[in-house]
Amino acid sequence: MFGNLINFAAILLGTGIGLLLRKGIPDRLRDTVVQGQGLCVILVGLFSTFSADDGGALVRADLTCVIVCIVVGSLIGAWIDIEKRLNDLGAAIERRFVPDAAEGSIARGFVTASLVFCVGAMAIVGPMNSGLRGDHSTLISKSILDGVFAIFFTSSLGVGVGLSAFAVLVYQGIFALLAAWIEPFLTEEMITQISAVGGLLIMGIGLNMVYDKHHIPVGNMLPAIFMPMAYLPLVGLFT
């Protein structure tokens, strides 16, 4: 859990710095900053979707796998209504700890940051390497990225971003503790597909930040990240 705790601390540190910066940003500029951050998040999603191997060659994801995983995962997530549950959790935290905050502000920061920090292959592979081999390098790299994102997210979305550190701690902690059981199923091909699906979801988060009035329920699509773990073995049985 050492690497996971570093990630947790980096997000809280980034949130603290972001709160200091937030005080000097007028609302007019803050709206522009949010849209700029949205474009950056879309770029991160593109890099995750179109990853490269050690030699720099483009690793092509299985398009059929990505489509099936997004569709099936979205159906499951919409049935459970994950998006509403996440928003309700954020709103409950808001009412409990910061009752005088603008309605929905903390919930939005919590949900947006939690999705960005938890979606993607690094949030799965990193804690597994940390739990199995004591190799914290992936999580340390992720911590730096998350800390920087937390600074900019907090400067525009507020203190709710800091609450996402607890979501990251629980989510990645599960993979660290269950790494020995998960590793045999996590092949290189599966990681590629998880990265591709996660990249699309991250792009959806970025689009939500840029086009606030046309909301994509990315929270309901979260089960899609885990669908390659079922899709690839099933396809393997017939091929």
What pLDDT, in 10s, does the model give residues 116-149?
888 777 787 788 888 777 778 878 888 888 888 8
107 with 90: CB under 8 angstroms? yes
CA gap 201, 182 in Å, rounded: 23
Q: Does a structural domain hold residue 238?
A: no
Q: Does a structural domain hold residue 30?
A: yes
Q: Does a structural domain hold residue 145?
A: yes
Count of domains forming the chain: 1
Which of 31-45, 56-70, 173-187, 214-228 shows the highest mean pLDDT? Answer: 214-228
Cβ atoms within 10 Å of 124's Cβ, excluding its own: 27
Rounded mean pLDDT, 65-83? 88
Q: Is the pLDDT of residue 34 over 80?
A: no
Q: What is the pLDDT of residue 60?
A: 65
Of 117 and 57, the one with more pLDDT: 117
Q: What does the DSSP 8-state code read for residue 213?
A: T
Tokens linked to 144: 């730096």
Cβ atoms within 10 Å of 130's Cβ, excluding its own: 27
The amino acid present at 223, given as its one-letter code, is P
Of 54 and 128, the one with more pLDDT: 128
Q: What is the pLDDT of residue 75?
A: 93
| Chain centroid to CA 171 | 10
**Given pLDDT bands bounded at 50, 70 and 90, which one contains residue 51?**
low
Residue 175: closest CA among 124, 111, 133:
124
Q: What is the pLDDT of residues 94-113, one digit of tens each?
A: 777 665 555 556 777 887 88
Q: Does a structural domain hold residue 177?
A: yes
Domain enclosing residue 84, as ranges: 2-233
The amino acid present at 177, given as its one-letter code, is L
Of 228 and 32, the one with more pLDDT: 228
Q: Does a structural domain hold residue 239?
A: no
Which residues touch 100 (CB under 8 Å, ≥6 apart)?
none
* Mean of per-residue pLDDT scores for the chain: 78
Q: Is the pLDDT of residue 57 over 60?
A: no
Q: Does a structural domain hold residue 29?
A: yes
| Chain centroid to CA 117 | 4
Q: Does a structural domain hold residue 75?
A: yes
- Cβ burial, residue 108 (10 Å; 0-12/13-18/19+): buried
Q: Does a structural domain hold residue 33?
A: yes
